[in-house]
Amino acid sequence: MLRMMRKNAKSLVVKLVFGVIIVVFSFWGVGSMKAKQMTVAATVNGKIIERKTLDNSFRNLWRRYQEESQGKFNPDEARSLQIKREALNNLVDRQLMLEQADKLGLSIDESEIQGRIAGLGAFQKDGHFDQETYRRALSANRMTPAQFESNFKDDILIGKVGTVINDGVKILPDEIDILVRQQREEIALDLLPFNPIEYQAKMKYSQADLEKFFSEKQENFRIPEQRKIAALVIEREQLLSKAEVTDAQVTDFYEKNIERFKVKEQIKARHILIKIAPDASAEETEKARGEILEILKKVKSGSDFAELAKKFSQGPSNSMGGDLGWFGHGSMVKAFEDAAFALKPGEVSEPVRTRFGFHLIKIEEYKPARTKKLAEVKEGIEKGLRIGAYPDLLEKEVAAVTAALSPLNDSKEFVAAAQKLGTTVVETDLFNQRNRVVPDIGRDPALLALVFKTPLNQSAKIVNPSRNSYYFMVTEIKASYLPELAEVKSDVEKAYRLELARAEVKKISEGAAAQLKGGKTLDEVATGLDLKLVDSGFFSRIQAIPKIGKDPALSRKLFALHKGQISEALQHNATYFLARLRERKLELGADGDKLRQETEQQLLRYKQFQVMQEFVQALRQEADIEVMAGVLE
pLDDT digits (tens, 9 = 90+) for 338-384: 999 999 999 999 999 998 899 999 999 999 999 999 999 999 999 98
Residue 549 domain flag: yes
Q: The CATH number of the domain where 338 resides is what?
A: 3.10.50.40
Residue 500 domain flag: yes
Query: Would you place residue 80 in the very low, low, confident or very high pLDDT band (cuts 50, 70, 90)?
Result: low
Question: DSSP letters along 229-253, please?
Answer: EEEEEE-HHHHHTT----HHHHHHH
Report the length, in residues, of the chain: 633
Residue 330 domain flag: yes
Output Rg (C-alpha) for the chain, integer angstroms.
33
Q: Are residues 279 and 425 in the same domain?
A: no
Q: Are residues 326 and 404 in the same domain?
A: no
Q: pLDDT (tens digit, 9 = 90+) per residue, 107-118?
A: 888 888 888 888
Residue 614 domain flag: no
Residue 248 domain flag: no
Q: Are residues 553 and 460 in the same domain?
A: no
- 40 exposed, middle or buried (CB, 10 Å; 0-12, 13-18, 19+)? middle
Residue-number span of the structural domain to which 462 is assigned:
226-235+392-478
User: How many C-beta neighbours within 10 Å does residue 611 have?
Assistant: 16
Q: pLDDT (tens digit, 9 = 90+) per residue, 237-290?
A: 999 988 999 999 999 999 988 988 988 899 999 999 999 888 889 999 999 999
Determine the average pLDDT of the residues in 579-601.
Answer: 82
Q: End of a domain among 478, 502, 528?
A: 478
What does the CA dihedral 168, 174, 179, 182 come to, rounded to 10 degrees?
Answer: -160
Q: Are residues 358 and 270 in the same domain?
A: yes
d(CA 541, CA 537) in angstroms, rounded, equals 13
Please enumerate in sequence order all residues whose Cβ is within 8 A of that of 425, keeping only pairs 6 or more positions apart, or say none.
230, 231, 232, 233, 415, 418, 419
Q: Are residues 465 and 531 in the same domain?
A: no
Q: Are residues 506 and 399 in the same domain?
A: no
Q: Are residues 154 and 6 in the same domain?
A: yes
Q: What's the pLDDT score for residue 561? A: 94
Q: Which of 237, 235, 241 is nearest to 424 (CA)?
A: 235
Query: Would you place residue 4 in the very low, low, confident or very high pLDDT band (cuts 50, 70, 90)?
Result: very low
Q: Are residues 471 and 451 in the same domain?
A: yes
Domain count, the chain: 4
Q: pLDDT (tens digit, 9 = 90+) per residue, 426-464?
A: 999 999 999 899 999 999 999 999 999 999 999 999 998
Q: The CATH number of the domain where 47 resides is what?
A: 1.10.4030.10
Across the chain, mean pLDDT equals 86
Q: Are residues 286 and 209 in the same domain?
A: no
Q: Are residues 443 and 303 in the same domain?
A: no
Best mean pLDDT range from 22-31, 49-58, 474-483: 474-483
Q: Are residues 154 and 86 in the same domain?
A: yes
Q: What's the pLDDT score for residue 73? A: 54
H or E element that contains 50 = strand 47-50
Q: End of a domain among 368, 403, 419?
A: 368
The alpha helices in 455-540, defined as continuous H runs, are: 489-517, 522-528
With 50 as the cut, is the pLDDT of residue 30 above it?
Answer: no
Q: End of a domain among 478, 509, 542?
A: 478
Residue 380 domain flag: no
Q: Are residues 363 and 289 in the same domain?
A: yes
Residue 249 domain flag: no
Residue 529 domain flag: yes
